[in-house]
Amino acid sequence: MTTADKPDLTAYDAVLFDLDGVLTPTAEVHMHAWRTMFEELFAAWDITPPYTDDDYFASLDGKKRYDGVASLLRSRDVEIPWGDPSDPPEKDTICGIGNRKNVVFERVLRADGIAPYPGSVALLDVLAAAGTPIAVVSSSKNAEEVLRVAGLRERFPVVMDGVIAERDHLASKPAPDVFVEGARMLGVDPARSVAVEDAISGVQSAAAGGFALVIGVDRGVGASALSDAGAHLVVDDLQELV
Ligand SMILES: [Mg+2]
């Protein structure tokens, strides 16, 4: 990106950020939590071969939590009842084990902590200095906790997360609802605001929401995939916009 291409984000009314993969490397915490949980489960149930990070990419990455659990157990020829999302984390059902992973995630998050991407923090500093309003728009129900542990929570007056989306029955990304609601909570017009995303479904959501500028952050998805999804601009790191 040349200097001439570099947009001045402070010229927009607001900047709305996805959290996981944009502000924090949350995937690492999820990988650690899945590994911890399945190592304990495999040992208790004598399941072989042992869990490896290849299993994460083959069975878990990008899937809904319960579908991921079912897929991974199927890869070891283990069949258990699906259960119900209300199952407690101790229960040996697909849903119970999925809920157990969330408990382990919170444990790992608090034990390991999480450091935000330095380039993202640098951009937040620029926006704060200019007084540009910012918000988080995340599908995660852990967004508040991740922001707190990362030391970012107090920077954001508006956090539109998975808890609010569920409460208000908002359609998840790639539907535009969550980004549009984030802009509404911030009191800004998407047509004069910026959205920043690292996932294809997130870029599609922001593009469908009519944001003036949709920035894709390529953490591995690929620049062309993000462009095809509707990103006006793709960067490898937000430091490029500072
Ligand atoms: Mg993301």
Nearest to 35 by CA among 57, 59, 24, 51: 51
Domain final position from 82, 112, 142: 112
Residue with tokens 């999804």, as numbered in its chain: 229
Find the mean pLDDT for residues 215-235: 95
Task: Please count the structural domains in the chain.
Answer: 2
The answer to whether residues 122 and 82 belong to one domain is no
Tell me if 230 sits within 8 A of 212, measured CB to CB. no
**Residue 150 above 60 pLDDT?**
yes
Residue 107 has pLDDT above 90, yes or no: yes
**Do 177 and 93 share a domain, yes or no?**
no
pLDDT tens for residues 115-148? Answer: 999 999 999 999 999 999 999 999 888 999 999 9
Q: Indicate whether 128 and 90 sit together in one domain.
A: no
Ligand 1 centroid to Cα of residue 91, in Å, is 30
- Per DSSP, the three-state class of 158 is strand
Are 87 and 160 in a shared domain? no
The fraction of the chain above a pLDDT of 90, given in percent, is 86
Could you say which of 112, 128, 159 is where a domain stops?
A: 112
Q: Which CATH number does the domain housing residue 57 bear?
A: 1.10.150
Domain finish residue from 79, 112, 145: 112
Task: Compute the distance from residue 17 Cα to the ligand 1 centre, in Å.
Answer: 9
* Residue 215 shares a structural domain with residue 148: yes
CA of 193 to the centre of ligand 1 (A): 19
- pLDDT at residue 58 tops 90: no
Q: In this structure, what token pair is assigned to residue 5?
A: 């291409």
Distance from Cα 80 to the centre of ligand 1, integer Å: 31
- At residue 1, the pLDDT reads 60
pLDDT band at 166 (very low <50, low <70, confident <90, very high): confident
77 is catalytic: no
Do 174 and 66 reside in the same domain of the chain?
A: no
Q: State whether 146 and 237 are in the same domain.
A: yes
Instruction: Output the pLDDT for position 4.
Output: 58
Please state which of the ranges 2-6, 41-45, 51-55, 64-68 shows the lowest mean pLDDT. Answer: 2-6
Determine the structural domain holding residue 97 and report its residue range. Answer: 28-112
The structure tokens listed for 46 are: 């004598």
- The answer to whether the CB of 27 falls within 8 A of the CB of 20 is yes
pLDDT over threshold 90, residue 63:
no
What is the per-residue pLDDT across 189-218, written as a single tens digit (0 to 9) for each?
999 999 999 999 999 999 999 999 999 999
Catalytic residue among 5, 8, 20, 92: 20
Indicate whether 212 and 230 sit together in one domain: yes
| Ligand 1 centroid distance, CA of 19 (Å) | 6
**Do 99 and 57 belong to one domain?**
yes
The alpha carbon of 242 and the centre of ligand 1 are apart by a number of angstroms equal to 20
pLDDT for 64 equals: 78
Indicate if 62 and 93 belong to the same structural domain: yes
Ligand 1 centre and the CA of 89: distance in Å? 25
Residues above pLDDT 70, as percent of the chain: 98
What is the rounded CA–CA span in Å between residue 125 and residue 73?
Answer: 44
Please state the pTM of the whole predicted model: 0.87
Residue 183 pLDDT > 70? yes
Structure-token pair, residue 129? 């200095």
Residue 53 known to be catalytic:
no
Which is catalytic among the residues 18, 161, 177, 198?
A: 18
Rounded distance, CA 37 to CA 45, Å? 12
